[in-house]
Amino acid sequence: AQSVAQPEDQVNVAEGNPLTVKCTYSVSGNPYLFWYVQYPNRGLQFLLKYITGDNLVKGSYGFEAEFNKSQTSFHLKKPSALVSDSALYFCAVRDIYGSSNTGKLIFGQGTTLQVKP
């Protein structure tokens, strides 16, 4: 079964410092990986995805993520954090190998990012 793990419930970082939000996955075959961000009482906003190609993926708002096949990781990064980046972040893998092949997303538990001034 496919799964995604975000080992940290919360990440705290000072504004201007680099940030990393961790994600590891377990899938059969090649994964479709995603990062989404959620602000309070809002839906999810797409940040970036890895399907194939370069392991370093650049996305919205200055975020990037590195796909590491040997470590089965897809950590989210940003060189310089902003207070406005404070939100809930979800890593997800798309289920393209299920018997129904619906393409549904399997989410990690979520990581709250707190950026302090």
Partner 1 sequence: GAVVSQHPSWVICKSGTSVKIECRSLDFQATTMFWYRQFPKQSLMLMATSNEGSKATYEQGVEKDKFLINHASLTLSTLTVTSAHPEDSSFYICSALLVSETEAFFGQGTRLTVV
Distance in angstroms (rounded) separating the CA atoms of residues 111 and 89: 5
Minimum distance from residue 16 beta carbon to partner 1 (Å)? 27
Nearer residue to partner 1 within complex by CB, 28 or 45: 45
User: Which of 44, 73, 82, 86 touches partner 1 (CB under 8 A)?
Assistant: 44
Q: Does 94 bind partner 1 (CB under 8 A)?
A: yes
Distance in angstroms (rounded) separating the CA atoms of residues 89 and 92: 10
Minimum distance from residue 49 beta carbon to partner 1 (Å)? 5
Distance in angstroms (rounded) separating the CA atoms of residues 34 and 66: 11
